[in-house]
Chain A
Amino acid sequence: EVPLVESGGGLVQPGGSLRLSCAVSGFTFSSSWMSWVRQAPGRGLEWVALIKYDGSQEYYVDSVKGRFTISRDNTKNSLYLQMNSLRAEDTAVYYCARDPDWGAMDYWGQGTLVTVSS
Chain B
Amino acid sequence: DVVVTQSPLSLPVTLGQPASISCRSSQSLEHSDGNTYLHWFQQRPGQSPRRLIYKVSNRDSGVPDRFSGSGSGTEFTLKISRVEAEDVGVYYCMQGRHWPFTFGQGTKLEIK
> Are A105's CB and B103's CB within 8 A?
no
Cα(A24)–Cα(B99), bound, Å? 25
Q: How many residues of A contact B (CB 8 A)?
A: 23
Please, which residue of chain B has its CB at the minimum distance from the CB of A61?
A: B100
Interchain Cβ contacts within 8 Å, total number: 66
Residues facing B in A94-116 (CB within 8 A) are 95, 97, 101-106, 108-111
Partner of A59, one of B1, B48, B92, B99: B99
A-B contact pairs, 11 of them (CB 8 A): A44-B105, A45-B94, A50-B101, A95-B49, A101-B37, A102-B96, A102-B97, A103-B95, A104-B96, A108-B48, A109-B48
The verdict on A89 contacting chain B, using a C-beta distance below 8 Å, is: no
> Are B48's CB and A45's CB within 8 A?
no
Partner of A111, one of B41, B48, B60, B99: B48
> Are A45's CB and B106's CB within 8 A?
yes
Cα(A59)–Cα(B101), bound, Å? 10
Cα(A112)–Cα(B49), bound, Å? 14
The verdict on A27 contacting chain B, using a C-beta distance below 8 Å, is: no
Cα(A46)–Cα(B101), bound, Å? 8
Main SS at interface, chain B: loop
Contact with B along A56-79 (1 / 0, CB 8 A): 000111100000000000000000
Residues of B with C-beta under 8 A to A46: 103
Cα(A101)–Cα(B51), bound, Å? 12
Residues of A with C-beta under 8 A to B49: 37, 45, 95, 97, 105, 108
* 12 further A-B pairs in the complex, CB-CB below 8 A; given A101-B96, A102-B97, A103-B101: A44-B104, A45-B94, A47-B101, A47-B102, A59-B99, A61-B100, A62-B1, A102-B101, A103-B37, A104-B96, A106-B54, A108-B48
